[in-house]
Amino acid sequence: MITFNINDTEVQAEPGWTVLETARQYEIEIPTLCYHEAVSSSGACRLCMVELKDGSWSKLVASCIYPVAEGINVYTETERVKNVRRWVFEMLLAQCPASGEIKQLAAKHGVESTRFSIKDPDEECMVCGLCTRACEEIVGLSAISMVDRGVHKKIGAPFSRPTEVCVACGCCVTICPTGAMRSRIDAVRGIPKITLTPLAV
Amino acid sequence: MFNGNVALKTEVNRLNSHTDLNDFRQQILDSYDPDRPEILVCHGTGCIANGSVELTQALKKACQTMGVDAKIMPGIKSTGCQGLCSKGPLVHIKPHGLFYQRVKAKNAEEIIQKTIIENKPVKHLLYKDPQTGELFHKEEDIPFYKKQKRYVLKNIGKIDPTRIEDKIAVGGYQALAKALTTMTPEQVVEQITKSGLRGRGGAGFPTGRKWQGALKAIEKKGRPVYVVVNGDEGDPGAFMDCAIMEGDPHAVLEGLILGAYALGAEMGYLYIRAEYPIAIKHLQIAMEQAKAYGLLGENILGSDFCFNAQINRGAGAFVCGESTALFTSIEGKAGNPRPKYVRSVEEGLWGRPTVLNNVETWANVPMIVENGADWYANIGVPKSTGTKVFCLVGKVNNVGLVEVPMGTPLAEIVENIGGGLPGGAPFKAVQTGGPSGGCIPYHLKDLPVDFDSLTKAGAMMGSGAMIVMDDRDCVVDVARYFLRFLEEESCGKCLPCRLGLSRMREILDNFSHGCGEEKDIDDLMGLAQAIQDGALCALGSSAPNPCLTTIKFFKDEYIAHVRDQKCPAGVCKDLITYSIDPEACTGCMSCSRQCPQGCISGEKKKPHAIDESACIRCGICMETCKFKAVIVR
Amino acid sequence: MNDKPKIGVFICKCGQKIDPFIDLSAMKVTVSKTDDVTCCEVLPYPCLEPGMTEIIKSIKEKEVNRLVVAGCESRLMLKKFEKRLESEGLKKGQIDVVNLRGHVAAVSDLSPKEKAEKGARLVNASIAEMRALHPSIQQNVHIEHPPMILGGGVASFTAAQELARKGIECYLSIPETDPDIILQQLYQKYLGERSNYPRLKKIIEDVLKNDRVTILPETEIVSLSGITGDYSAALTVPGELNRKRYQVGTIIACLDGELTAPGPEFGYDGKTVLCQTDLENIIYNAVIPSGQTVFWINDYETGQEEYARLSTRSAWTMSRHILENSKKSQVIILYNQKMSLPLTASERSLSRKLGIIWVPYDKAVQPVIQLGFVSFGGVNDHLEHEIPWDRIVLSPIRKIGGNSMQTAKILGIIHEESEFLGVHHAKVRPEMVGREESYLAGSARYSCDLNEALNQGKQAGKKNAEMYQKSAENTLFAPRVVCIVDTTKCVGCGQCQEICDCGGIGIAEGLGGGIPRVVDPMVCTGGGTCAAACPYQALTLQNNTNDQREARVGELAKQLKNNEFVAFACSWAGLPAADNAGNRGLNYNPDIHIIGIPCVGQIDPSVMARAFVDGAPGLLLVGCDPENCHHSFGVDHAWSRVNILKKLFTLCGFDRRRITMAHADLNHPEDFVKTVESFSKMLKALGPIEKTPDNQKKLESIYKLVKTNSRVRLLLSSGLRRPWEATYRGDQRYALEYDRSDFMDALKEELLKVRLEGIFREESRPFDLDEIISKVVDDQNRIINQLSELVAEGAIERTYKQGKPFYLSAN
Amino acid sequence: MSDQADIIEEIMGRYPGKPEYLIFLLQDVQADCGYISPEAMNLISEHACVPITQAYSVATFYQSFRLEPKGEHEVRVCLGTACHLKGGQRIVEELERKLNISAGDTTEDMMFTLNSVNCVGACALSPVILVDGKYETNITANKIEKILKQINNEHAGYSEGGTNV
* D60: chain A residues, CB-CB within 8 Å: 147-149
Looking at the structure, tell me whether residues B192 and B313 fall in a common domain.
yes
Looking at the structure, tell me whether residues C117 and C197 fall in a common domain.
no
Residue C652: name the closest of C508, C768, C794, C778 by CA: C778
pLDDT tens column, B236-254: 778 889 899 999 999 999 9
Neighbour order of strands in the sheet with C368-370: C368-370, C373-377, C384-388
A199 domain residue, yes or no: no
**Is D57 near chain A, with CB under 8 Å?**
yes
Looking at the structure, tell me whether residues A70 and A88 fall in a common domain.
no
- What's the pLDDT score for residue B11? 54
Q: Say whether pLDDT at C270 is over 50.
A: yes
A157 domain residue, yes or no: yes
A to D CB pairs, distance under 8 Å:
33
The answer to whether the Cβ–Cβ distance between D159 and C351 falls below 8 Å is: no
Looking at the structure, tell me whether residues B425 and B486 fall in a common domain.
no
- What's the pLDDT score for residue B2? 32
Looking at the structure, tell me whether residues B223 and B287 fall in a common domain.
yes
- Strand segments (E) across C350-492: 357-361, 368-370, 373-377, 384-388, 391-394, 397-400, 439-441, 483-485
pLDDT tens column, B293-336: 999 999 999 899 999 999 999 888 888 888 899 999 999 999 88
Looking at the structure, tell me whether residues C569 and C702 fall in a common domain.
yes
Percent of chain B with pLDDT over 90: 36
Distances from the Cα of C140 to the Cαs of C83, C460, C522, C560, C680, in angstroms? 19, 22, 10, 42, 46
Domain count, chain C: 6
Q: What is the mean pLDDT of residues A177-189?
A: 89
Looking at the structure, tell me whether residues B108 and B194 fall in a common domain.
no
Distance CA C332, CA C330 (A): 7
- What's the pLDDT score for residue D1? 45
Q: Say whether pLDDT at C175 is over 50.
A: yes
Q: Residue B592: which CATH number?
A: 3.30.70.20
Q: Which of D63, D84, D90 sits opposite B618 (nearest CB)?
A: D90
Backbone angles phi, psi at C98, to 5 degrees: -100, 130
**Is D85 near chain C, with CB under 8 Å?**
no
The answer to whether the Cβ–Cβ distance between A25 and C625 falls below 8 Å is: no
* A140: chain D residues, CB-CB within 8 Å: none
Q: Residue B414: which CATH number?
A: 3.10.20.600
B522 domain residue, yes or no: yes
Looking at the structure, tell me whether residues B349 and B217 fall in a common domain.
yes
A201 domain residue, yes or no: no
Q: Which domain holds residue B263?
A: 164-378
B1 domain residue, yes or no: no
Q: What is the mean pLDDT of residues B18-27?
A: 90
Looking at the structure, tell me whether residues B216 and B353 fall in a common domain.
yes
The answer to whether the Cβ–Cβ distance between D60 and A165 falls below 8 Å is: no
C62 domain residue, yes or no: yes
The answer to whether the Cβ–Cβ distance between A158 and D61 falls below 8 Å is: no
Mean pLDDT of chain B: 87
Looking at the structure, tell me whether residues B308 and B181 fall in a common domain.
yes
Distance CA C58, CA C54 (A): 6
Looking at the structure, tell me whether residues B230 and B373 fall in a common domain.
yes
Looking at the structure, tell me whether residues B587 and B608 fall in a common domain.
yes
Q: What is the mean pLDDT of residues B359-375?
A: 93
Quote the Cα angle for C263-C264-C269, to 5°: 100
Distance CA D88, CA B393 (A): 15
C432 domain residue, yes or no: yes
Domain final position from B378, B397, B414: B378
Smallest Cα distance from B326 to chain D, Å: 12
B433 domain residue, yes or no: yes
C187 domain residue, yes or no: yes
Distance CA C51, CA C55 (A): 6
Looking at the structure, tell me whether residues B227 and B339 fall in a common domain.
yes
3-state secondary structure of C140: strand
Residue C498: name the closest of C730, C732, C165, C796 by CA: C730
**Is B276 near chain D, with CB under 8 Å?**
yes
The answer to whether the Cβ–Cβ distance between A87 and B506 falls below 8 Å is: no
Q: Which residue has the higher pLDDT, C426 or B376?
A: B376
Distance CA C130, CA A27 (A): 31
Looking at the structure, tell me whether residues A7 and A73 fall in a common domain.
yes
Q: Which amino acid is at B449?
A: V
Q: Which domain holds residue C16?
A: 1-135
Which of B280-284, C238-242, C671-675, C730-734 has the lowest average pLDDT? C730-734
Q: Say whether pLDDT at B399 is over 80.
A: yes
Q: Say whether pLDDT at C464 is over 60.
A: yes
CB distance C530 to C483 below 8 Å: yes
Residue B474: name the closest of B564, B544, B575 by CA: B575
Domain count, chain A: 3
Domain final position from C395, C410, C428: C395
3-state helix, strand, coil in chain B (%, to 5): 45, 15, 40
Domain final position from A77, A109, A138: A77
- What's the pLDDT score for residue C579? 94
Distance CA B449, CA B410 (A): 6
Looking at the structure, tell me whether residues B208 and B300 fall in a common domain.
yes
C743 domain residue, yes or no: no
Looking at the structure, tell me whether residues C683 and C563 fall in a common domain.
yes
C758 domain residue, yes or no: no
Q: Which of B46, B335, B395 sits opposite D122 (nearest CB)?
A: B46
Smallest Cα distance from B530 to chain A, Å: 5
pLDDT tens column, D95-111: 998 888 888 888 877 78
Q: What is the mean pLDDT of residues C282-288?
A: 86
C375 domain residue, yes or no: yes
- What's the pLDDT score for residue C161? 93
- What's the pLDDT score for residue D162? 38
Q: Residue A68: which CATH number?
A: 3.10.20.740
C140 domain residue, yes or no: no
Looking at the structure, tell me whether residues B191 and B236 fall in a common domain.
yes
B299 domain residue, yes or no: yes
Looking at the structure, tell me whether residues C267 and C356 fall in a common domain.
yes
Q: Which domain holds residue A16?
A: 2-77
Looking at the structure, tell me whether residues A6 and A72 fall in a common domain.
yes
Looking at the structure, tell me whether residues C337 and C317 fall in a common domain.
yes
Highest mean pLDDT among B276-280, C48-52, D137-141: C48-52
Looking at the structure, tell me whether residues C504 and C575 fall in a common domain.
no
C751 domain residue, yes or no: no
Looking at the structure, tell me whether residues C687 and C659 fall in a common domain.
yes
Predicted complex ipTM exceeds 0.85 = yes
Mean pLDDT of chain C: 88
- What's the pLDDT score for residue D28? 92
Q: Which of A46, A126, A148 sits opposite B496 (nearest CB)?
A: A46
- Here the contacts of B201-204 (C-beta below 8 Å, separation 24 or greater) are B201/B230, B201/B321, B201/B357, B201/B358, B201/B361, B201/B463, B202/B358, B202/B433, B202/B436, B202/B460, B202/B461, B202/B462, B202/B463, B202/B538, B203/B460, B203/B538, B204/B384, B204/B451, B204/B461
CB distance A85 to A110 below 8 Å: no
Domain final position from B329, B363, B378: B378
CA-based nearest residue in chain D for residue A155: D57
* A165: chain D residues, CB-CB within 8 Å: 51-53
Looking at the structure, tell me whether residues C567 and C704 fall in a common domain.
yes
pLDDT tens column, A105-162: 999 999 999 989 898 899 999 999 999 999 999 999 899 999 998 889 999 999 888 8
Domain final position from B83, B106, B139: B139
Interface probe for C, chosen from A36, A169, A194 (most Cβ of C below 10 Å), is A169
Q: Say whether pLDDT at B8 is over 50.
A: no
CB distance B177 to B254 below 8 Å: no
Smallest Cα distance from A154 to chain D, Å: 10
Domain count, chain B: 5
Looking at the structure, tell me whether residues C530 and C554 fall in a common domain.
no
Looking at the structure, tell me whether residues C449 and C555 fall in a common domain.
no
- What's the pLDDT score for residue B3? 31
Q: Residue C685: which CATH number?
A: 3.40.50
Q: Which residue has the higher pLDDT, C508 or B625?
A: B625
Domain final position from A98, A123, A148: A123
